């Protein structure tokens, strides 16, 4: 299903690191083979975002062959200010087509008067045409990305005639202002799911459709006061 306020774009870069959190406990980072829902939300928010709405990622299309590359890194040691030695495993030469739409944040009744669909949709499309409002990162800051408008489904994908499952992966995080039930209200929660690629396309389930969830911590959403710490006029 394609929504009226949909944007479609391609995002690409030399490297990407969509970190599998299981590998971080040992001080090293290993990328998932595909971007997570949360990573694509972050990329889309870098194009354009306001707390009035939240982006919903509908589909991602894997354009290039999935290739990994390891690099030796010297991060700061946890216990002191000396350097440690770690191996990070990156995705190499990535490109994805993304389809997303926005929905009003029902937890933000304080911003209800900013719910102007045409305004935000037009700004999002203009921002996309200019490469986004903020720097684009492919999972982590050292992986610079670039975005351009595209018609989703055009061009050839390396996986047009292939299907595969990727096992259990992180879907994303649910922040307090994105709560969809009592369990996620005033909490930070993690979501897991089992993505399946069909003909190069992964269709994301919605956050509330994830059946594997876990509460991480108690959090409270930030309060906004129009005219004081947020503006709804201009938006340019």
Q: Which of 235, 171, 174, 175 is nearest to 205 (CA)?
A: 171
Q: Most confidently modeled of 16-30, 72-86, 114-128?
A: 114-128
pLDDT at 84 over 80: no
Note the pLDDT of residue 235: 59
- What tokens were used for 53? 């709405």
Contact 224, 110 (CB under 8 A): yes
Confidence of residue 11 (pLDDT cuts 50, 70, 90): very high
pLDDT at 36 over 60: yes
Note the pLDDT of residue 207: 95
Note the pLDDT of residue 164: 94
Note the pLDDT of residue 105: 93
pLDDT at 219 over 90: no
Confidence of residue 236 (pLDDT cuts 50, 70, 90): low
Note the pLDDT of residue 48: 97
Query: Which residues does 34 contact at the CB level (< 8 Å), separation at least 6?
Result: 18, 60, 62, 66, 166, 169, 195, 197, 202
The predicted-structure confidence for 105-148, as pLDDT tens digits, reads as follows: 998 888 889 999 999 999 999 999 999 999 999 999 999 999 99
Note the pLDDT of residue 92: 97
Q: What is the mean pLDDT of the chain?
A: 90
Confidence of residue 234 (pLDDT cuts 50, 70, 90): low
DSSP 24: H
Helices and strands (DSSP H and E) totals, the chain: 3, 13
How many residues are given for the chain? 236
pTM here is 0.89
Query: Which residues does 193 contact at the CB level (< 8 Å), separation at least 6?
Result: 168, 169, 171, 205, 210, 212
Note the pLDDT of residue 111: 87
pLDDT at 220 over 90: no
Strands 29-30 and 6-16: unpaired
Contact 120, 102 (CB under 8 A): yes
**Domains contained in the chain, CATH given:** 7-162 (3.30.70.2660)
């Amino acid at each position: 299903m394609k929504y009226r306020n949909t944007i479609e774009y391609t995002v690409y870069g030399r490297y990407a690191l969509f970190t599998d959190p299981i590998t971080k406990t040992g001080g090293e980072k290993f990328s998932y083979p595909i971007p997570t829902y949360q990573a694509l939300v972050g990329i889309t928010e870098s194009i354009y975002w306001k707390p009035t709405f939240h982006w919903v990622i509908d589909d991602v299309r894997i354009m290039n062959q999935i290739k990994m590359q390891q690099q030796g890194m010297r991060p700061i040691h946890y216990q002191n200010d000396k350097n440690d030695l770690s191996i990070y495993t990156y995705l190499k030469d990535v490109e994805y087509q993304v389809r997303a739409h926005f929905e009003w944040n029902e937890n933000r009744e304080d911003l209800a008067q900013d719910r102007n669909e045409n305004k935000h949709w037009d700004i999002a499309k203009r921002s996309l045409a200019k490469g986004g409002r903020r720097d684009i990162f492919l999972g982590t800051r050292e992986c610079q990305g670039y975005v351009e408008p595209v018609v989703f489904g055009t061009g050839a994908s390396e996986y047009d005639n292939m299907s595969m499952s990727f096992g259990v992966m992180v879907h994303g995080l649910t922040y307090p202002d994105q709560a969809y039930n009592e369990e996620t209200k005033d909490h930070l929660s993690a979501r897991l799911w089992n993505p399946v690629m069909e003909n190069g396309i992964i269709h994301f389930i919605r956050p509330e459709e994830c059946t594997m969830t876990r509460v991480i911590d108690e959090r409270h959403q930030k309060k906004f006061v129009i005219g004081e710490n947020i503006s709804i006029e201009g938006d340019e």
